[in-house]
Structure 1
Amino acid sequence: MSSDAVPAARPVVTGLGVLSACGRGLEPLAAAVSYGKTAFDTVSRFDVSRRRTTRAALLTDPPPLAEALLGVIADACRQAGPDGSTETPLLLALHSDLGTAEVAARVAEGAARLCGVPGVTRVYTGACVAAATAVADAAALVAAGRQSRVLVAAGHLVQPGVFAAFDAGRALARDGELRPFSAGRSGTLLADAAVAVVIEDGAAAERRGAPVLAGLAGWGRSGDAHHVCRPLPDGGGMARAAESALARAGVAAAEVGYVNANGTGSTLADRAEANALRRVFGSHTDRLPVSSTKAVHGHALEASALLELAVTIAALRDGLLPVNAGWLGPDPDCGLDLVLDGPREARPRYALSLNSAFGGANTALLVAA
């Protein structure tokens, strides 16, 4: 799974289910990120009166997490259509806490009933790269011919303990706005999300007339182990993940036409990511549109990468590159071609979706239109 060899089979996305603070389904999410309509509001789900930050992007009336996951799994399987298999693995990304095992068990039982999958094959709890790691594993299984179809799901509902930990660690934006790569940025904002995708062999999908939403051309992972929560300042770890995704796909850096950046609004992390993009794309960086859609839908931790994969698929489908919302002005240490003021019309062949996590983990998913 770690080889950079060009895949023998072509993994594609044929089903997608989304639930976010922007609404249910891909369309409200795509509209919100295209035009910078942010989903943040004052938290009323639990008491935040003693917190420095009081805003997040939350569902108005959230179902239990297992129920939210089963809803998007059903949507994704419905869109992909049946393939006659009862052995589809389910890879599930969740936050690691005392309720993880129970949520996974409920999802396993419900998914077997709804979609005929045999249960949850693996649970990923690797923080903010958990879902991207699951997607990379799913794509590798399909590309190697070991599975014809894999279901990936991820979910996170903001809870008071996690909110308090991020707030105490001064990771949340003090002014209640997430401002990726902008001067004056002060941190991230948390979010609810549940997302599911069906990944399968492109040739098999075409034979049965399934919808092909996008291709997964390449994927890469790296670990820089620089610090428990700070990124490697020169962006070397993230650059290696992106270079691995490009190498696996056999795609040149200049062929990438959009980057959905990790962009958490952290001063250090955004600067390191900008450095990573410079390392990978060189002079092409000046002409490479970049935005972080977390500025609209928030940071959904273990579900973030799957939510942002959905956004990237929509951008390629619609020919509208999402806005980098929350912008106050340029940071000379970033210097990227950010999408500002409104969606940018473009139809790139390839887009890169990047994610990073505490501990130095980095992932890159190269999405093909």
Structure 2
Amino acid sequence: MNRHAPTAVRPVVTGVGVLSAAGEGTTALAEAVVHGKAAFGPVTRFDVSARRTTRAALLPEPRPLADAVLAAVGQACRRAGLDPADPDGGPPVLLALHSDRHTRATLAEVAAGTTARWGGPGVLRAYTGACVAAGTAVADAAQLVAAGRRPRVLVAAGHLVEPGVFAAFDAGRALARDGELRPFSTGRSGTLLGDAAVAVLVEAEPEAERRGAPVLARLAGWGRAGDAHHVCRPEPGGDGVARAIEAALGRAGIAPEEVDYVNANGTGSTLSDHAEALALRRVFGGHTDRLPVSSSKAVHGHALEASALLELVVTIGALTDGLLPVNAGWLGPDPEIGLDLVLDGPRTARPRYALTLNSAFGGANTALLVAAR
């Protein structure tokens, strides 16, 4: 395992905000994921009559993407107890978005809205790196804080299901034919897309203590790796996923056996789920048989560039609430998977460390390791 020098400052999470198909706020999301209440329904936002798949996980109340992201930012900043009047309180924003003709305008709206309400320099950097965009942003935020370069950084992300991306996924036969996302299950046939707007405030632990801010979790480690195997197919043995996990564990200085839960990438793809299961077996060895795993995408859908941040919020919830999310959509075991999946209701646990994993087309992989506060 690669070992990294200990960070100068421990980065912690002091605020989270989320809008998802489960509703607004973390309580609604937690209720859905721990009980496996899948939020998929018919797509009514645009015409899908010519598509093979017609379901997605959509926000209960439609709104423009920038408005949704700013609502999540407000939740996170209020929960962290930021004072808008504090001249030093406004954090820079790292923003993950899908790259299209609306990206520049959305970025500008989020930057202006964040600065007007919470101060700070606005959006420092935009991330459009597909399904690991937000995971990369969190890793950069943690590094900025750990190195003492910023006292706090706000990571925000947003994705709304749109006709162009939906059509591309449908044409590529990436969407589940039966309209259900079934991670690691026999009979799985693909993913389903989902809406999400998420914000997470990453802060230096001494700064959080100075402000008396609530510490929800600690970002103990982060890792990134690419396998460059194929433009859309995963490396069959899960090499990039395994190396990202090893980098996160090495940065935290912990052994694989200390990890007590994994919120997997688990897209419901036959090839991707199998490769990820092999990666987990490679890193965790015999501990894999006792390591609870689930994919919360089975409930809230695949939010593309916002996925990693949404799933980080879910994983932090598992640490704080002591309830592991259900791996929903289950039909039966795939003999090639061999994971200890959380099935048939939430599992009570008190994880010391939990991993959340994400992978993207092109072979990019991120691993974020969070520790109980």
Output the TM-score relative to the length of structure 2: 0.97
Aligned amino acid, residue 207 of structure 2: A
Residue in 2 that maps onto 1:49: 49
Answer yes or no: is 1:184 the counterpart of 2:149.
no
| Contact 1:34–1:343 (CA under 8 A) maintained in structure 2 | yes
Cα distance in 1 for residues equivalent to 2:110 and 2:351: 36
Mapping for residues 71-220 of structure 1, pairs under 5 Å:
71-82=71-82, 84=86, 85=88, 88-220=91-223
Cα distance in 2 for residues equivalent to 1:263 and 1:366: 17
Residue in 2 that maps onto 1:282: 285
TM-superposed CA distance for 1:88, in Å, is 2.1
Cα distance in 2 for residues equivalent to 1:89 and 1:253: 33
| Contact 1:94–1:125 (CA under 8 A) maintained in structure 2 | yes
Residue in 1 that maps onto 2:327: 324
Q: Secondary structure of 2:262's match?
A: strand
Mapping for residues 246-325 of structure 1, pairs under 5 Å:
246-325=249-328
Q: Secondary structure of 1:176's match?
A: coil
Deviations 1:127-178, CA, capped at 9 Å, x for gaps: 0000000000000000011111000000000000100000000000000000
Aligned amino acid, residue 41 of structure 1: G
TM-superposed CA distance for 1:3, in Å, is 8.4
Cα distance in 1 for residues equivalent to 2:198 and 2:189: 27
Residue in 2 that maps onto 1:359: 362
CA 300–308 in structure 1, closer or farther in 2 if over 3 Å, else same = same
Aligned amino acid, residue 295 of structure 2: S
Cα distance in 2 for residues equivalent to 1:325 and 1:295: 5
Cα distance in 2 for residues equivalent to 1:185 and 1:348: 28
TM-superposed CA distance for 1:237, in Å, is 0.5
Aligned amino acid, residue 243 of structure 2: R
Q: Secondary structure of 2:181's match?
A: coil
Q: Secondary structure of 1:258's match?
A: strand
| Contact 2:191–2:267 (CA under 8 A) maintained in structure 1 | yes
TM-superposed CA distance for 1:79, in Å, is 1.2
Deviations 1:293-342, CA, capped at 9 Å, x for gaps: 00000000000000000000111111000100000111111110000001
Q: Secondary structure of 1:227's match?
A: coil
Cα distance in 2 for residues equivalent to 1:162 and 1:6: 41
Runs of 4+ more than 2 Å apart = 2-6
TM-superposed CA distance for 1:4, in Å, is 3.0
| Contact 2:41–2:55 (CA under 8 A) maintained in structure 1 | yes
TM-superposed CA distance for 1:86, in Å, is 5.1
Cα distance in 1 for residues equivalent to 2:126 and 2:169: 23
Cα distance in 2 for residues equivalent to 1:110 and 1:364: 30
Q: Give the RMSD, CA atoms, in angstroms.
A: 1.1
Answer yes or no: is 1:67 the counterpart of 2:70.
no
Cα distance in 1 for residues equivalent to 2:158 and 2:47: 22
Task: Give structure 1 stretches of 5+ with no counterpart.
Answer: none
TM-superposed CA distance for 1:87, in Å, is 5.7
Q: Secondary structure of 2:100's match?
A: coil
Aligned amino acid, residue 173 of structure 2: R
Residue in 1 that maps onto 2:7: 7
Cα distance in 2 for residues equivalent to 1:17 and 1:231: 31
Aligned amino acid, residue 252 of structure 2: A
Residue in 2 that maps onto 1:34: 34
Aligned amino acid, residue 299 of structure 1: H
Residue in 1 that maps onto 2:228: 225
Higher mean alpha-carbon deviation, 199-208 vs 125-134, is at 199-208
Residue in 2 that maps onto 1:24: 24
Task: Give structure 2 stretches of 5+ with no counterpart.
Answer: none
Q: Secondary structure of 1:122's match?
A: strand
Mapping for residues 336-347 of structure 1, pairs under 5 Å:
336-347=339-350
Cα distance in 2 for residues equivalent to 1:260 and 1:287: 14
Cα distance in 2 for residues equivalent to 1:154 and 1:62: 17
| Contact 2:82–2:89 (CA under 8 A) maintained in structure 1 | no
Cα distance in 1 for residues equivalent to 2:277 and 2:206: 37
